[in-house]
């Protein structure tokens, strides 16, 4: 099967943030939604690098040839640190990935253009190249097949115009833009067929031909900008609409997979998904899922029986510093003597259920509730685990030591990650101990924890001290 290269671009500067507000009587305007990418970035910069590296390390793709990461430069002074951090992550996952930098001109599409030129210059043997924005990640080792099928199917049908498929995107659509008319002329329109959800595969043979006269893609700097009403769209939207124009005007076809696959689209990093394509179809690529913020409630004495059901479970105790089992009487005495004044030591992990409260509205009988704002309510439900926290000193520096234990019935659902993220949002630094055989060590590394060099032996097993610090 034909080889392909994997090209992903990354940005370590602030993510765009669009805040949505709603009015509540007596409270005024309150924030109803927030940009997940914006706040999660404040915890650590490299979560999307981790997402792609994790995918690549967990899936064997036989026809994958070369992996290339293109870093769009945010701050020149931080570039060396960025590159060192990315290399550390790549090495952690034991991957062979080349990393190059780009000056961020034309954003993602400029980075893809830069990466393609680099691959062509070094004479890649691949027939195709997968182009992916950092906040989208493939779902499994077969993600490339629907795209390959589009290339091969089109080549088999009779094509009177003798056209070749140059690019297969997740979703392609039409966009009409105004052409500024000269005095005395009627206003004109130009329609672009463009990659609306632009991740996809490019034919490297086509890319090589297009690159012969400078670039693979079209950018506004290379066309007569005064011909297009550029005020109709934002800068990045304009870039997206026109970046495949050179490809299509050169006689190559732009296809998509929306007729055979499900295409989820994240509306501005809000974890709100818009559905395109076939809802129940195979999904080869999906937006990065940001962890939810979970309610954390103070654990009370009445919760101790439930608490011991998790705490005394063998799978939990194996990774605890103190692996003794405790009776309910022992736990009650221990709980009574806990210092709960400054830093409440144990917090319950809950979840949030959203529901439509029709009783508050005269429109309670309406069928399409999604169009009504301000009528959705939230309630906390369930107990899925607990958070441990206490003050400690690390090399003379005071910080919070944290830990999370999840009910065995609710593990591997992302709850531990979400709980840690909820805690870290309000901290500047934190520490924890982790056993060498605890798979959660990968999660801590992904969240930005790093080894301090301090270790200890507990029950014949090595424990590592890890520390997390907020990055500005």
Q: Where are the domains of the chain?
A: 4-287, 296-469
Percent of the chain with pLDDT over 90: 65
**Tens digit of pLDDT for each residue in 76-128?**
998 999 999 999 999 999 999 999 999 999 999 999 999 999 999 999 999 99
**Tens digit of pLDDT for each residue in 374-383?**
455 666 778 9
pLDDT at 61: 96
pLDDT at 26 exceeding the cut of 70:
no
The residue among 246 and 40 whose pLDDT is bigger is 246
Judged by DSSP in three states, 159 sits in coil
Strands 188-203 and 128-133: antiparallel
Distance CA 154, CA 10 (A): 32
Mean pLDDT of all residues in 127-153 = 96
Distance CA 302, CA 374 (A): 35
Q: Break the chain down into helix, strand, coil percent, rounded to 5.
A: 30, 35, 35
pLDDT at 368: 44
pLDDT at 291: 83
**Tens digit of pLDDT for each residue in 303-323?**
999 999 999 999 999 999 999
**Tens digit of pLDDT for each residue in 263-319?**
999 876 667 789 999 999 999 999 998 888 888 999 999 999 999 999 999 999 999
The model carries a pTM of 0.85
**Tens digit of pLDDT for each residue in 166-201?**
999 999 999 877 766 666 677 677 788 899 999 999
CATH number for the domain running over 296-469: 3.40.630.30
Planar angle of CA 212, 215, 220, nearest 5 degrees: 140
**Tens digit of pLDDT for each residue in 30-71?**
555 555 666 676 677 799 999 999 999 999 999 999 999 999
Helix (H) or strand (E) holding 405: strand 397-406
Mean pLDDT of all residues in 386-408 = 96
Mean pLDDT of all residues in 406-411 = 95
Exposed, middle or buried, 162 (CB in 10 Å: 0-12/13-18/19+)?
exposed
pLDDT at 175: 83
pLDDT at 192: 80
Distance CA 21, CA 23 (A): 7
CATH number for the domain running over 4-287: 3.90.550.10
Strands 262-266 and 273-277: antiparallel
pLDDT at 1: 77
pLDDT at 27: 60
pLDDT at 387 exceeding the cut of 50:
yes
pLDDT at 423 exceeding the cut of 70:
yes
Distances (CA, A) of 220 to 106, 179, 212, 235, 239: 9, 14, 18, 10, 7
Mean pLDDT of all residues in 234-238 = 74
pLDDT at 239 exceeding the cut of 90:
no
Residue whose C-alpha is closest to residue 114's, from 123, 103, 127, 125: 103
């Amino acid at each position: 099967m034909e080889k392909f290269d994997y090209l992903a671009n990354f940005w370590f500067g602030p993510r765009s943030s669009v805040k949505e507000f709603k009015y509540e009587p007596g409270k005024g305007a309150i924030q109803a939604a927030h940009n997940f990418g914006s706040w999660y970035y404040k915890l650590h910069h490299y979560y999307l690098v981790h997402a792609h590296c994790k995918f690549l390390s967990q899936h064997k793709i036989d026809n994958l040839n070369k992996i290339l990461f293109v870093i769009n430069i945010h701050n020149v002074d931080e570039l060396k640190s960025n590159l060192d951090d990315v290399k550390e992550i790549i090495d952690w996952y034991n991957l062979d990935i080349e990393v190059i930098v780009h000056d961020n001109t034309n954003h993602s599409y400029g980075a893809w253009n830069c990466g393609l030129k680099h691959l062509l210059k070094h004479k890649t043997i691949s027939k195709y190249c997968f182009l992916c924005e950092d906040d989208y990640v493939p779902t499994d080792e077969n993600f490339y097949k629907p795209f390959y099928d589009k290339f091969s199917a089109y080549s088999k049908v009779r094509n009177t115009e003798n056209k070749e498929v140059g690019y297969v995107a997740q979703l392609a659509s039409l966009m009409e833009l105004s052409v500024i008319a000269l005095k005395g002329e009627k206003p004109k329109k130009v329609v672009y067929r463009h990659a609306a959800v632009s991740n996809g595969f490019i034919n490297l043979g086509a890319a090589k031909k297009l690159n012969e006269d400078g670039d693979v893609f079209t950018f506004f700097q290379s066309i007569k900008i005064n011909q297009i009403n550029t005020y109709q769209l934002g800068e990045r939207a304009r870039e997206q609409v026109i970046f495949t124009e050179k490809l299509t005007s050169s006689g190559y076809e732009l296809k998509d997979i929306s007729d055979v696959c499900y295409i989820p689209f994240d509306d501005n990093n809000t974890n709100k998904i818009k559905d395109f394509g076939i809802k129940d179809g195979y999904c080869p690529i999906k937006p990065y899922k940001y962890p939810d913020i979970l309610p954390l409630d103070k654990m009370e004495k009445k919760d101790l029986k439930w608490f011991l059901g998790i705490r005394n479970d063998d799978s939990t105790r194996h990774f605890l510093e103190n692996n003794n089992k405790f009776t309910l009487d022992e736990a009650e005495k221990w709980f009574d003597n806990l210092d709960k004044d400054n830093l409440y030591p144990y917090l319950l992990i809950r979840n949030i259920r959203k529901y439509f409260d029709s009783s508050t509205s005269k429109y309670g009988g309406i069928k399409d509730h999604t169009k009504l704002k301000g009528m959705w309510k939230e309630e906390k439900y369930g107990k899925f685990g607990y958070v441990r926290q206490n003050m400690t000193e690390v090399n003379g520096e005071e910080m919070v030591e944290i830990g999370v234990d999840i009910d065995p019935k609710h593990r591997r659902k992302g709850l531990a990650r979400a709980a840690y993220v909820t805690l870290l949002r309000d901290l500047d630094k934190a520490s924890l101990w982790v056993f060498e055989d605890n798979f959660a060590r990968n999660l801590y590394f992904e969240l930005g924890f790093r080894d301090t060099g301090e270790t200890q032996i507990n029950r014949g097993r090595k424990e590592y001290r890890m520390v997390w610090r907020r990055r500005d």
